Amino acid sequence: MASRGVLFASRVFRWAAIYGVIVLAPLYLLPLPSVEPQNRLGFIGTALAFQWVFWLIGGDPVRFRALMLPAVAEKLVFSVPVMVFVAKGMTPKPVAGFAAIDIGLAVAFFAAWRRITPS
């Protein structure tokens, strides 16, 4: 039987993967900006690829514990700049909601990492 830490990590990462695909995949349907559309496509594609990483971590948190800290970083490299940009009025305020969710996931990922004993 899995420990409570393993069960917590598995649930957090699997739910994050599902949430991420639901939020990110529709972004491909939005009109592309006229300036540097590759930036948006690169962001969406990279973020979607990481949902697969989250799914893998959730399947075997002990084995993939080493990927949990990069997963924390993946969440923070979007959410922290967005919060700064929102505070400066450079990004629409509703985007802060998605950034806040990512900050919460970063905290949960770190908590999962702490709960898993290295093998």
Total tally of structural domains belonging to the chain = 1
Digit-coded pLDDT (tens) for 7-41: 999 999 999 999 999 999 999 999 999 999 999 99
Digit-coded pLDDT (tens) for 100-116: 999 999 999 999 999 99
Residue 63 Cα to chain centre, angstroms: 19
What CA–CA distance (Å, rounded) separates 49 from 114? 24
User: What is the domain range of residue 8?
Assistant: 4-115
Give pTM, 2 decimals: 0.93
Digit-coded pLDDT (tens) for 34-56: 999 999 999 999 999 999 999 99
